[in-house]
Structure 1
Amino acid sequence: MSLHDHACLESVDGQAVTLLGARLTGELRGLLFEARVEQRFANPVDEHLEVVYRFPLPWGAVLLGVEVELGGKRLTGAVVARAQAEADYEEALSEGDAAIMLEKNHDDSYCLNLGNLAPRESCTITLRYAQVLQFEQGALRLLIPTTIAPRYEGGPHDSGLAAHQRMMPSVTAQHALELELTVHGSLAQARVASPSHPISVAPAGQGGDATLHVALARQGWLDRDFVLVLDQLAQAGVAVAGPDFAQSGRAAVLASFCPRLADRAPRDVAVKLLVDCSGSMGGDSIDAARRALQAIVLQLRGDDRFCLSRFGSRVEYRTRALWKLTDATRIAAQRWVGALEADLGGTEMQQALASTLALAHDRRSDLLLVTDGQVGSIDAVIQAAQGSGHRVFVVGIGASVAQEHLRRLAQATGGACDFVAPGEAVEPAVLRMFARLRSPRLVDVRLQWPSAAAPDWQTALPPALFDGDAVNVFAGFAEVPQGEASLWGRIEDAGGAGPELELGRAMLDGRTDAPGALSRMAAAARIAETAGSDAAADAASAGVRLAVDYQLVTDGTNFLLVHERAAAQRATQMPVLHQERPMLAAGWGGAGSVRFSRLDFTAQAGAALSVPSVWRASRSSAAGDDIAIPAFLTAHVQGAAAFEPPRRPAKPRVDRNDPRLWTRNDFYTGWTPLGLTEWLRINPESAWPATYAGLRQMGLGLDVVEWVELVLAPQAWPGAAEQDVVRHFLAWMNGVEMRTALSANPPGGNGGAWGRLPMPAGMAAADIAAAEWFADL
């Protein structure tokens, strides 16, 4: 079968269930983005089905409505309390009626339950949602997720999903995506680009009536985030108002600001770099991570300090403490970054974050995390980060980043997030992140409304924010206010907060440019705030009442629609469960490249992918991922042992199980000084290595080799060629004085022993450098 055939799933008897595709249309007014997503389903089999489909919405998006067309009929439902919705849904299925329930999951994804879809019946479900975008260092970034990549879970119920909601993506499915967006008002004058998809852009109108029409330039698929970037914005403050959905005659207002400070001297940073090297980062993602980290290393300057760690199923540290930036440490960091691979298994983010935060540091430091965020739950990670005194900044990389997890982590610690799509330049994201790291925080933030306007309620302001980032505030009024709203705050520095400064302005002109969606967004923000209050039970009850009043799908409410069928059309048996598996995220885990278009598949390529040409055998020993050779291809010669060449006597070996000679831990693996002298003693000089690479191959740890090249050589043998440096170093280690000193008082059995070598008198400077270089071991 060609991979061009329609995407399908097979049921237990080999029949198919199909998600035919999706169409998204959207309107962007100010910072408010409203979208309609049409999902088309069909049941081509001869039995009633219960189709379960899990899908993402953007971070902070609020689901506003669900419209259903079932069997040619338009149907409406309502938002009710979750417990009631679940009971009514199951009752409808048991009575043979059709039912549709939409629920929000613990991980902020959504699950559609389409029950009793009749044989040969089609169903179109249209979702309406809205989202408030965020200024990101003076630009806007619209990210629309289309699929959920596989996520690593540390336990059987890490994500909080029920068994029927857990579904692995399909590598053969092809769900088509159509997309059209309209940008209104002043934003239509911005520069627009998409790093994720080829787009067409068509302007129309002028002035306040200007619009910009954006559409996909070629076929799209539900296999990657759609990203639209708008920069060169003309304003740093935007206000939009709309009528209240539940209270007639009243209005809701959204005021958004992007504070910009005058140029200030950049601060030095102390940052712990932690990069995700789990299997999900394979391919495009680890390539982008290497580029991001190289850009980060180049951004370090002055008295900056940093340390390097990577994680997957375990954590590996390049440094135990913060390195001071020098030419030597920069080169060492660049080499470490260049060698990164996605080879560390699962994504044990909680352990990695906790242990990296605990690394020694002599000043207040931040943590910069580079990851795709593919974990089942972020709650335990947030708990590990909070209270550590570190802000967590995140660069999210991949075609389907778990942005809801990463934004929650950054916000909970006072940090910030930035995202990089495959193929997108990483340098701008890194520059934006370092602008935040070097910028002082803005504290004591307050919002001043026009003098004649007093809000009935207002969502909370952030306790602190960064220069160039967004602050969004919802408020409710008896009528739309007129005049300017202004944002004020103080700059935090070592001496405390400075004088109050005006950070931005937004004009309110009394018009209601946005429909009732704005007040429902405001209600969702109020529900989110009450969810974090101390009176949990009362807050949950109040949140459910508010969600029902404003018809919002939340943690406590579901959308429910029950379609009572005629007696002759009712199902006589309970429906068969079918999980509609999403497309695998493009490039996930190294499964191809995002730049490889699905349109390039041919029937021959599909056949080649469908039938593997080499099978790998499972091994009980640690033989690695080698290819097993079938027995009939191996030679069996009678008396083969008689033709074996004589074996040479075994070479003497240094015992690597002796901790005085060889050490292995999270920070260093290789010979100790005493172990190296033993190796040199039993091996002839002709077998000694002559290059830095040779030193690594014979068992010296990376730290030691880089110390020899970057620290010891310039001070002890300035100007010497690589071969001469290696020869001098090994001769010095094999000298009588070194042997005598190490044998009489061997340094401890760990890598740190290299920092306490008995240096010759003429190498006192190298002794000091060694102690500093290896202080982290």
Structure 2
Amino acid sequence: MSLHDHACLESVDGQAVTLLGARLTGELRGLLFAARVEQRFVNPGDEHLEVVYRFPLPWGAVLLGIEVELGGKRLTGAVVARAQAEADYEEALSQGDAAIMLEKNHDDSYCLNLGNLAPRERCTITLRYAQVLPFEQGALRLLIPTTIAPRYEDGAHASPVPQHQRMASSLTAEHGLELELTLHGSLARARVASPSHAISVVSAESEGQGADEGIDGGAVLRVALARQAWLDRDFVLVLDQLAHSSLALAGADYAQPGQATVLASFCPRLADQAPLDVTVKILVDCSGSMGGDSIGAARRALQAVVLQLRGADRFSLSRFGSSVEHRARGLWKVSDATRLAAQRWVGTLEADLGGTDMQAALESTLQLAHSVRSDVLLVTDGQIGSVDAVIAAARGSGHRVFVVGIGSSVVQSHLQRLAAATGGACDFVAPGEAVEPAVLRMFARLRSPDLEDLRLEWPGQVQPLWASALPSAVFDGDTVNVFAGFAQVPQGVVRLLGRAGSVAPEQELGRAALDARVSAAPTLARVAAAARLAALTPDDAHADAQDEGVRLAVDYQLVSDETNFLLLHERAAADKAGQMPRLHQERPMLAAGWGGAGSVSLSRMRADIWAGGVPALQRRSPIRQIEARAFRSIGSARSDRLRSFLDDLNDDAPLVPAKPAKPRIDRNDPRYWTRSEFYTGLTPLGLQEWLRINPESEWPATYEELRDIGLGAPVVEWLELLFKNRVDAGMPESAVVMGFLAAIDGGAWQASRKPSRRSSPTQDREKVREFFLGALERTTPQEWPESVWTLEERLDDD
């Protein structure tokens, strides 16, 4: 029996398994969430491994501590400067010793480097983190990310993540998730639901109260997963029907004995403020990653957005992927016609535009009616490699960006950064979650007046030693959190003051009471230090700011852009590795629903793909449908061959005799066919040429037939909406279409050409033709009239 003849953990596609699963336990008290995450690893092979595993933490989470159990021994490490950590880590590996390093990436993901894990050795990494949750429009939302979905990469969106950390997602990996949460005090009486997972909820009484639990009562609510879960989607817990009031807490400083840190949390309320009219440019992600559940949720969200628009509002509609398409050239007024056009446009949205070139799409959208002050409402999953270039394009444009993040693995950090940089806000919708509440919250912010000249008034006019900056965007009903440090905590009322508009008088927006109680727990001070650290980066690149950042991170033991966690374990001489370890990149599970997987069970997919050890593509399995959708969206020659191969396998499809081909317009001739971000289809001259080369018996008689021959959707919709009342009153659709074509056939822009022979027109058709001869008066061979884009022209009733 050889040394290799032993049991070995493998996934169904033969990949070695090192990550056995994760367990998360958490405590939610007030706005403060504290969690412990256990990650369990094993080396199933015969050689030493360097395991690299990249994973996400929630936006705003502060990593407080790391505990390691390696080979049955409990070990401790420390946070040190990044350069020192990297050098010491490599040195330990070269000496055959074990080393563990945790680093934070620029995209707010984390990477665990587990060096020299011995054959069949087990290691458990326990991470402790905390975050202050925002209270938004009467609700709290806890989002715990579990995987990193594939992201769009190109020159403008190249990920800053090091190459050795970039690992493709695995469709066949199975990493289990266990989760238990405890909600304390008033939160135990909230309405609790999870749109992402099946949960069990049990009420109980607290067995004891920690030193920092002064804001809570004794009631607790325990939340756990009701069935097997995986690291393939965000865990989302929503708590609503909450009556949040402002509060202030104090805790002992972690690094400065005798000093204290204060958190003042406010929920601004504006009385007697009429909602403002909005001017909003709607931009929706239709890239391939939005396929399946995400694009369905996006359609529902946008239909809810359209219903929120009212008479004085203005809006535009755009969608993007590798390219951008605008429904109109400017901003529409809200009317029956534009509302109906918007609803139809939303109903046709598909995730069929390839990659996610968000920067180009945003820049193009910002240029629409750029002289008008307006906001952008972005609906996306945020799956791009880097957001820095997108932020640079949006910042300074005068547009606030409001984001609705949709999907099972949204890039929360990217979207939060983009919204914050422009003075906007974020909301999120998980697959299966009702979208209307998120849209209502977003429109409450859009219609909220700007809160300006914000300032804090501390008790007795005491000035703090330091204080975090007030946020650039504050909205009625959302949370404002401010951290500050004091030599001695002042007692009394902290007031948030500001103006609802530049000419409005200053008013009190919120107040919170500070008392003499100071928690001995270090959590508050370390979360505050992370907020101070975030204020220094990434804009402050000079040496003094970097030195201050390293000092803060080391003093408060925070993993940051400039510091890593490092643990070194010197092995006995007999246990040292004889050579450098083999690199093993632990591939994350593919995010559920990503790229068109929809709600299909991944375990069922795996069974379909690998049944009997042979891919089962000849059956009509879910994965085949997913691949077919993906191939359609890519558009390359290779994908065309693969799509053809899949189509050939579809022996269930009935054979339909092909219809004789009609004469077609040359779509490479710019006289006849145009492609732009506003319109793709036949030009006026192109439609005229189509009528010339086809007999009148083959001319379209319906709006759908106009689309079939290549007339662009904006023109067809213009016809339909322009004559909607006439059609409803009894004018046949065919009369509208044929009258329009008769006007096109004799278009004034080509007077030298004689119109085609036409049969005797009906009275309705002739009336429509006469109208369109006037409506098309300013049409050029390549340009349709402006009313196509504005949808404002109407046919007189007489």
CA distance in structure 1 between the aligned counterparts of 2:37 and 2:519, rounded to whole angstroms: 22
SS in 2 for 1:53: strand
CA distance in structure 1 between the aligned counterparts of 2:507 and 2:685, rounded to whole angstroms: 62
SS in 2 for 1:626: helix
Note if contact 1:455-1:475 (Cα within 8 Å) is conserved in structure 2: yes
Distance 1:610 1:161, change over 3 A: farther
Give the residue type in structure 2 aligned to 1:588: W
Match of 2:696 in 1: 685
Note if contact 1:713-1:720 (Cα within 8 Å) is conserved in structure 2: no
- 1:148-227 paired onto structure 2 within 5 Å: 148-155=148-155, 158-205=158-205, 208-227=217-236
Note if contact 2:743-2:770 (Cα within 8 Å) is conserved in structure 1: no
Distance 1:276 1:42, change over 3 A: same
1:582 Cα shift? 1.1
CA distance in structure 2 between the aligned counterparts of 1:609 and 1:502, rounded to whole angstroms: 68
CA distance in structure 2 between the aligned counterparts of 1:95 and 1:102, rounded to whole angstroms: 20
SS in 2 for 1:568: helix
1:258 Cα shift? 1.5
Match of 2:211 in 1: none
SS in 2 for 1:381: helix
Distance 1:7 1:183, change over 3 A: farther
Q: Does 1:543 align with 2:558?
A: no
Name the stretch that deviates more: 417-426 or 311-320.
311-320
Match of 1:339 in 2: 348
Match of 2:765 in 1: none
Note if contact 1:445-1:462 (Cα within 8 Å) is conserved in structure 2: no
SS in 1 for 2:343: helix
SS in 1 for 2:561: coil
Note if contact 2:9-2:16 (Cα within 8 Å) is conserved in structure 1: no
Q: What is the aligned length?
A: 738
Distance 1:174 1:653, change over 3 A: closer
Q: 2:327 aligns with which of 313, 318, 321?
A: 318
CA distance in structure 2 between the aligned counterparts of 1:325 and 1:427, rounded to whole angstroms: 20
Match of 2:282 in 1: 273
Match of 1:369 in 2: 378
SS in 2 for 1:451: helix
CA distance in structure 2 between the aligned counterparts of 1:657 and 1:419, rounded to whole angstroms: 42
Match of 1:249 in 2: 258
1:328 Cα shift? 1.2
Q: Does 1:450 align with 2:468?
A: no
SS in 1 for 2:258: coil
Distance 1:606 1:662, change over 3 A: closer
- Measured against aligned partners, the alpha-carbon deviations of 1:81-128 in whole angstroms (never above 9, x if no partner) come to 000000000000000110000000111100000001111111111001
1:703 Cα shift? 1.1
Unaligned runs of 5+ in 1: 634-644, 747-757
1:358 Cα shift? 1.2
Distance 1:630 1:387, change over 3 A: closer
Q: 1:584 aligns with which of 571, 587, 590?
A: 590
- Measured against aligned partners, the alpha-carbon deviations of 1:272-307 in whole angstroms (never above 9, x if no partner) come to 111111111111011111111111111111121111
Unaligned runs of 5+ in 2: 1-6, 207-215, 619-623, 652-656, 755-767, 779-783, 793-798
Note if contact 2:172-2:606 (Cα within 8 Å) is conserved in structure 1: no
Match of 1:57 in 2: 57
Q: Does 1:612 align with 2:613?
A: no
CA distance in structure 1 between the aligned counterparts of 2:157 and 2:698, rounded to whole angstroms: 55
SS in 2 for 1:254: strand
Give the residue type in structure 2 aligned to 1:406: L
Note if contact 1:707-1:770 (Cα within 8 Å) is conserved in structure 2: no
Distance 1:39 1:727, change over 3 A: same
Note if contact 1:7-1:20 (Cα within 8 Å) is conserved in structure 2: no
Match of 1:119 in 2: 119
Note if contact 1:297-1:333 (Cα within 8 Å) is conserved in structure 2: yes
TM-score by length of 1: 0.89
1:487 Cα shift? 1.2
- Measured against aligned partners, the alpha-carbon deviations of 1:363-407 in whole angstroms (never above 9, x if no partner) come to 211111110000110000000111111111100000000000000
Match of 2:750 in 1: 742
1:269 Cα shift? 1.2
Note if contact 1:443-1:497 (Cα within 8 Å) is conserved in structure 2: no
SS in 2 for 1:774: helix
Q: 2:685 aligns with which of 660, 674, 680?
A: 674
Name the stretch that deviates more: 305-314 or 92-101.
305-314
Match of 2:788 in 1: 773
Give the residue type in structure 2 aligned to 1:81: A
Name the stretch that deviates more: 144-153 or 314-323.
314-323
Give the residue type in structure 1 aligned to 2:750: L
Note if contact 2:420-2:472 (Cα within 8 Å) is conserved in structure 1: no
Match of 2:732 in 1: 721
Distance 1:391 1:776, change over 3 A: farther
Distance 1:102 1:652, change over 3 A: closer
SS in 1 for 2:505: strand
1:520 Cα shift? 0.6
1:479 Cα shift? 3.5
Note if contact 2:50-2:584 (Cα within 8 Å) is conserved in structure 1: yes
Note if contact 1:236-1:257 (Cα within 8 Å) is conserved in structure 2: yes
1:76 Cα shift? 0.4
1:773 Cα shift? 3.3
1:744 Cα shift? 5.6
Distance 1:609 1:445, change over 3 A: farther
Match of 2:571 in 1: 565
CA distance in structure 1 between the aligned counterparts of 2:39 and 2:686, rounded to whole angstroms: 65
Give the residue type in structure 2 aligned to 1:418: D
Name the stretch that deviates more: 506-515 or 135-144.
506-515
1:186 Cα shift? 2.6
Give the residue type in structure 2 aligned to 1:393: F
Q: 1:704 aligns with which of 705, 715, 727?
A: 715
Distance 1:745 1:34, change over 3 A: farther
Give the residue type in structure 2 aligned to 1:434: F
Give the residue type in structure 1 aligned to 2:645: I
CA distance in structure 2 between the aligned counterparts of 1:428 and 1:224, rounded to whole angstroms: 21
Note if contact 2:157-2:386 (Cα within 8 Å) is conserved in structure 1: no
1:558 Cα shift? 0.3
Distance 1:43 1:267, change over 3 A: same
Give the residue type in structure 2 aligned to 1:607: A
- 1:340-739 paired onto structure 2 within 5 Å: 340-451=349-460, 453-492=462-501, 496-513=502-519, 515-531=521-537, 536-593=542-599, 596-597=600-601, 607=611, 611-614=615-618, 619=637, 625-627=643-645, 654-712=665-723, 714=725, 719-734=730-745, 738-739=746-747
1:267 Cα shift? 1.6
Note if contact 1:712-1:766 (Cα within 8 Å) is conserved in structure 2: no
1:514 Cα shift? 7.0
Note if contact 1:284-1:398 (Cα within 8 Å) is conserved in structure 2: yes
CA distance in structure 1 between the aligned counterparts of 2:491 and 2:667, rounded to whole angstroms: 78
Distance 1:439 1:514, change over 3 A: farther
SS in 2 for 1:498: coil
- Measured against aligned partners, the alpha-carbon deviations of 1:132-189 in whole angstroms (never above 9, x if no partner) come to 1112222111111011001111139811122210111111111111111112233323
CA distance in structure 2 between the aligned counterparts of 1:673 and 1:442, rounded to whole angstroms: 50
Distance 1:552 1:264, change over 3 A: same
Note if contact 2:715-2:788 (Cα within 8 Å) is conserved in structure 1: no
Distance 1:81 1:401, change over 3 A: same
Distance 1:447 1:156, change over 3 A: closer
1:671 Cα shift? 2.4
1:684 Cα shift? 2.5
1:331 Cα shift? 1.4
Identical counterparts, % of pairs: 70
Name the stretch that deviates more: 302-311 or 206-215.
206-215
Note if contact 2:325-2:678 (Cα within 8 Å) is conserved in structure 1: yes
- Measured against aligned partners, the alpha-carbon deviations of 1:454-499 in whole angstroms (never above 9, x if no partner) come to 422111112341111221101112344433222111101xxx3311
Q: CA RMSD in A?
A: 3.1
Note if contact 2:281-2:315 (Cα within 8 Å) is conserved in structure 1: yes
1:33 Cα shift? 1.0
Match of 1:640 in 2: none
